[in-house]
Amino acid sequence: MVVDEANTSGLWLPGATAGAPPHDWLTLTGGAIGQGLPAAVGAALAAPDRPVLALEADGSAMYTIQALWTMAREELDVTVVLFDNRAYSVLNLELQSVGAASGGTRAGELLDLSQPDLDFVGIARGLGVPAEQATTAEEFNHLLGRALAEPGPYLIDCLVPPLF
């Protein structure tokens, strides 16, 4: 099962799985952010015999990061791929869609998730979930293979370029 709240980093992901083996794709329904990690917990609890791949945006993860603790406590087979672009990019898109893209320096700073950078590997480990960071596609492929081969929760913090 794939739980998708990758937001701006995952706009083209569903289409990329068109030739993949059969799978369920649970996606963001719109209107709010932060549902991805709890939805992954729910999917893993509902179908414990099926691994869950959670595609999660960094800003959205900050709303419900405590779901990682539940994954660890319940030993849920959830691999979290966290798209870390250090920004609330989806909110930048929303500003553009209402014609407010040039809100000024302060508005831009409010959507910036750096200074300080969020340490998702440290956060995940602190909540009981093994985690590593990928800075290249090769590192990501290696970590994803390892995470999917082992049952239980795992987080891969993928540094990706910002959309804006």
Q: How far is CA 108 from each of CA 9, 45, 68, 70, 125, rounded to the nearest angstrom?
A: 19, 38, 29, 33, 30
Residue 76 lies in a domain: yes
**What's the structural domain count of the chain?**
1
Size (the chain), residues: 164
Structural domain harbouring 46: 2-87+117-159
Residue 141 lies in a domain: yes
Residue 104 lies in a domain: no
CATH number, domain with residue 29: 3.40.50.970
Name the pTM for this structure.
0.84
pLDDT tens digits, one per residue of 109-144: 666 667 788 899 999 999 999 999 999 999 999 999
pLDDT at 38 over 80: yes
Residue 107 lies in a domain: no
Residue 97 lies in a domain: no
Residue 112 lies in a domain: no
Instruction: For residue 39, report the phi and psi dihedrals to the nearest 5 degrees.
Output: -65, -35
